[in-house]
């Protein structure tokens, strides 16, 4: 076994131990960064977000200068792939935007009320095939660069680094909300709730099967089962319990049944409904928070049920000092960990983060 292989196995054991609610030899650190790496390395955003090979090389170079960490949540980045999550077009730097601007999801009402019936009648996969071709400018052809992702993962792992997130899946709420646009979709929940739920139920059949097939082919350690717009802060309990949580339960169970860890990448504030997460499989999920949810409340409610990951916010990474970042990380390690905790940034490290602050986060676990 090579030194890189030994290092990989050591780090993988550390991460899996934490995910299983046990105490590793030290708290693992698994950051997430895309645009930050481009800025850090002086790579044009227009090249970084449209070429997975370039983004993979840039991520490796950036983090190689920032200390010793256990894993990453992204091996490469391809902005157009975001269209599959939110059924929206993506504006790209160098094409629709200045070459060093961040990419932008261009949310419009591309999906119509009639599309709910199309999903119910044809099934979700067939609907998506037509939708990608007709309303997202032949999206399937544009996804060809994603074929580089297995090589990007290998490049990471050959260095002894664990790729902790090997894919993503989400619930119908997220995709419908992006395709309809948030204002229109929220109106749908009040005006035609039964139709929306029927379309969600039909879509979920294909989403679950697509997820199973993806997991069996890629065999990842973990995947994002993410939520953004479906967070508690945006919906009443009545709507959240009808249109959000039942679908997350199905998706998480399908992931866990395949022997894969479900990373609940939950952006925005989910504090109100943390208690419901106890209904998900114990020791099989990782709750990844972005600074909006009260992570200390999450520890209180879920600390004996699921691993918690996070949640160094954008503000101290961008505006703080290394000492301030270090102190907050040590608080997380001592109060959320050391068992059942993975230190990470709260979602993406912001593009304007100070490299010395990112290094302070990584070094804080030692």
Reported as a single tens digit per residue, the pLDDT across 294-335 is 999 999 999 999 999 999 999 999 999 999 999 999 999 999
Check pLDDT > 80 for residue 14: yes
Mean pLDDT of 27-46: 98
- Which class would CATH give 3-363? alpha beta
Sheet of strand 168-169, all strands in order from the earlier edge strand to the far edge: 168-169, 222-225, 261-266, 285-289, 307-312, 341-345
Reported as a single tens digit per residue, the pLDDT across 252-274 is 999 999 999 999 999 999 999 99
Distance CA 269, CA 266 (A): 8
Domain ranges across the chain? 3-363
What are the angstrom distances between the C-alpha of 7 and each of 2, 3, 20, 127, 366? 9, 6, 20, 45, 16
CB contact set of 280 (below 8 Å; sequence gap of 6+)? 248, 249, 252, 253, 262, 264, 305, 306
Distance CA 288, CA 273 (A): 15
Q: Beta strands 71-72 and 222-225: pairing type?
A: unpaired
The answer to whether the CB of 42 falls within 8 A of the CB of 84 is no
Structure tokens at 146: 């994603």
What's this model's pTM, rounded to 2 decimal places? Answer: 0.97
CB contact set of 177 (below 8 Å; sequence gap of 6+)? 86, 185, 186, 229, 230
The pLDDT score that the predictor gives to residue 150 is: 97
Q: Tell me what the pLDDT averaged over the chain comes to.
A: 97
Residue of 147, 146, 166, 155 lying closest to 260 (CA atoms): 166
Check pLDDT > 90 for residue 174: yes
The pLDDT score that the predictor gives to residue 1 is: 75
**227: Cα within 13 Å, side-chain hemisphere:** 29
Check pLDDT > 80 for residue 17: yes
Percentage, residues of the chain above pLDDT 70: 100
């Amino acid at each position: 076994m090579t030194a890189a292989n030994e290092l990989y196995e050591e780090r993988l054991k550390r991460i899996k131990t934490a995910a299983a609610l046990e105490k590793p030899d030290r708290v693992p650190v698994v950051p997430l960064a895309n645009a930050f790496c481009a800025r850090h390395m002086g790579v044009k955003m227009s090249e970084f977000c449209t070429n997975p090979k370039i983004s993979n090389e840039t991520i490796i170079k950036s983090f190689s200068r920032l200390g010793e960490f256990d894993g990453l949540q992204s091996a490469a980045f391809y902005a157009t792939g975001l269209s599959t999550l939110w059924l929206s077009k993506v504006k790209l730097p160098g094409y629709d935007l200045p070459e060093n601007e961040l990419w932008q999801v261009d949310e419009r009402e591309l999906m119509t009320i009639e599309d709910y019936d199309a999903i119910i009648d044809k099934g979700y996969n067939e609907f998506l095939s037509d939708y990608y071709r007709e309303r997202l400018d032949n999206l399937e052809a544009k996804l060809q660069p994603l074929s580089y992702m297995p090589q990007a993962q290998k490049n990471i792992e050959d260095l002894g680094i664990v790729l902790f997130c090997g894919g993503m899946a989400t619930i119908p709420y997220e995709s419908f909300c992006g395709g309809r646009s948030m204002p229109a979709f929220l109106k749908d929940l009040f005006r035609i709730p039964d139709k929306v739920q029927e379309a969600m139920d039909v879509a979920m059949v294909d989403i679950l099967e697509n997820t199973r097939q993806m997991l069996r082919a890629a065999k990842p350690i973990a995947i994002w089962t993410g939520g953004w717009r479906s967070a508690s802060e945006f919906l009443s309990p009545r709507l959240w319990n009808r249109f959000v949580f039942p679908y997350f339960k199905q998706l998480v169970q399908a992931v866990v049944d395949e022997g894969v860890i479900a990373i609940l990448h939950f952006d925005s504030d989910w504090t109100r409904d943390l208690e419901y997460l106890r209904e998900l499989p114990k020791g099989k999920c990782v709750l990844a928070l972005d600074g909006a949810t009260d992570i200390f409340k999450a520890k209180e409610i879920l600390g004996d049920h699921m691993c918690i990951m996070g949640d160094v916010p954008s503000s101290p990474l961008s505006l703080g000092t290394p000492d301030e970042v270090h102190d907050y990380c040590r608080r997380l390690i001592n109060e959320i960990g050391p068992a059942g905790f993975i230190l990470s940034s709260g979602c993406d490290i912001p593009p304007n983060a100070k490299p010395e602050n990112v290094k302070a986060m990584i070094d804080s676990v030692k």
